[in-house]
Structure 1
Amino acid sequence: MDSEKIKFHNLHLPNEVRVFQIPKTNIRVWNEKVMVYEVKIDDAIGGNFTFRHYSFYDKWFEINITLDASGKLITEPGPIDWSFNCDICTPCFSKGTNFFNLDLELDILVSNDGKEYVVIDEDDFENVISQGLLTVNERIGARKGLENLIQLILSGNLISYLEGICSFTDLISLSDPIPYNKLQLSEVSLLNMSERESYYGKELES
């Protein structure tokens, strides 16, 4: 069982599906609302860093953070100095040990204290809309996810919300960085535009 992998399929429009293979031992939380995993970062300067990913069955966003060995948030430069990389995306869905979601292009970077933020990649979002690559519900969901995430940030509760799911200082010993490969959308039928929105938020029978 320990050697079994979770495969996370993340569709980047128009056709690229990035597949991350995560050992089950790296899954920190997995229930009907959220899946959290951690992986080691292969850092060029030799830092002992953990990448943590929060994916939700009931929300139109996902959140990524990087932590040092003590559980301290790593900050990176950008439009603002940020520690939270939040992707607006569809709710995830799963089938057995396979997870799926669709990146909706919009992103929010959030400062170390969880209070300052900037929205980026709005042009990319408008571009996929203009190409007809999103359904009406996906367009509505993206804006809903953006609004809900901004409300969470402005409430001052982003950090406490995430720590309530899995504490930043509760880290595990990790093996080597995980492999990932790329597939074409045509190879992952569950993410086809005609099918995928009926699956969002669900755990499908294997």
Structure 2
Amino acid sequence: MEPRWHYQFRVIMLGDSTVGKSSLLRRYTEGVFLDAVNQTVGVDFYVQFVELEPGLRVKLQFWDTAGQERFRSVTCSYYRNSAGGMLLFDLTNRASFESVRRWHREVTDTVQPFRVVFLLVGHKSDLAAERRVGRREAERLAASLGAQYVETSAKDASNVAQAFQMLTLAIYRALQSGLLAPCEAWDGVKSSGPLPAPLPAHTTKEEKRKKCSC
């Protein structure tokens, strides 16, 4: 019997409070936009199934984290088992853009020796008249973090599906290249069958052990 999904990727939503993490997820997973969304308390969960390419189904498990400082000890515990991180900032809020490096550093430091594939997202692109962050500046930040960049709007659905597709594909490519190396000690990626590619042939047994150590 054909499995319902071939891979499961865990993705964590990151960014300051009110940048629109929950709104973006609701638009993507439920196809709805709510003008008023209650602030996330701790962590919320969402699931979406996608066909990455013909015959390749991926289950996306999203962890929607609270942006407030008082919940940081709770949300940090979810970083370690994430394969992907969607870094959001509000295009109309300069401070949220300046917080991106802090979010990125916090996750990167926490997950070592594992890695997380990031996507930088400038949200609320429908509010063009209130924009406070330029595209080129955001693209430079994304490049410095080794991530792709996209601008989205949960309100008008602009680039919403594209953003999640970009991150899902980037995670899959990281698996193929060996940048991500799933193992029993890490739940960022699960597979119902063989992984897309083995670790590079030149990788020693000791290096493989380190990749799967906690």
- TM-score, normalised with respect to structure 1: 0.30
Structure with more of its chain in helix, by fraction: 2
Q: TM-score, normalised by structure 2?
A: 0.29
